[in-house]
């Protein structure tokens, strides 16, 4: 019985030390991780803006791109869809000043199949969205005009829905 108590006490001590170390490391890394995520989001917003944008400012969840005279010429906002093949797809979507015409998108988060669904980042697929109404996107299989990624129709549909989600936030 004494041996069991000794083993339990040893394991409890080891577990406590490990938990303390993990909590310390979490506290150390939480702020740098948050800072990097904010920078990644801001960089993505700038990358999807129309070419005429001189400055970008954040207004709540929406990034507003302004030209040199201060006029709003574009917008960027996150859109997401939980129906991707690998789970959630989160995009930063850029829109023209009319708030519905897509400029382009940048993937913030996706866990799609490498070599198939991850082609959502390819120029061939992503380039199809430029100039289209973000509220009315569908793949050809569903009667739209977006060519789905070969063997990744689920991902392609999720990208269309994520862009539509972004358009509702403007």
- The DSSP-derived string for 49-77 is S-TT--EEEEETTEEEEE-TTS-EEEEEE
pLDDT at 1 > cutoff 90: no
For residues 141-166, b (16+ Cβ closer than 10 Å) or e, as one string? eeebebebbeebbbbbbbbbbbbbbb
Residue pLDDT, tens place only, 109-148: 999 999 999 999 999 999 999 999 999 999 999 999 999 9
Confidence (pLDDT) at 46:
95
In the numeric block, the tokens 């890394």 are attached to 29
pTM of the model: 0.85
Residue pLDDT, tens place only, 33-57: 999 998 999 999 999 999 999 999 9
| Per-residue confidence band for 2, with pLDDT thresholds at 50, 70 and 90 | confident
């Amino acid at each position: 019985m004494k041996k069991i108590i000794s083993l339990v006490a040893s394991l409890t001590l080891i577990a406590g030390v490990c938990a303390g170390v993990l909590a310390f490391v979490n506290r150390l890394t939480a702020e740098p991780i948050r800072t990097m995520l904010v920078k990644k989001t801001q960089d993505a917003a700038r990358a999807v803006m129309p070419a005429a944008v001189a400055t970008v400012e954040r207004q709540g969840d929406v990034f507003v791109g302004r030209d040199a005279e201060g006029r709003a010429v574009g917008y960027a906002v996150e859109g997401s869809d939980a129906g991707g093949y690998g789970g959630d797809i989160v995009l930063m979507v850029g829109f023209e000043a009319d708030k519905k015409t897509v400029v382009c998108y940048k993937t913030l988060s996706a866990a799609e199949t490498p070599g198939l669904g991850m082609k959502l980042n390819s120029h061939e697929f992503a380039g199809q969205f430029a100039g289209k109404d973000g509220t009315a996107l569908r793949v050809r299989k569903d009667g739209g005009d977006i060519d789905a990624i070969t063997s990744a129709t689920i991902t392609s549909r999720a990208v269309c829905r994520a862009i539509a989600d972004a358009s509702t936030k403007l």
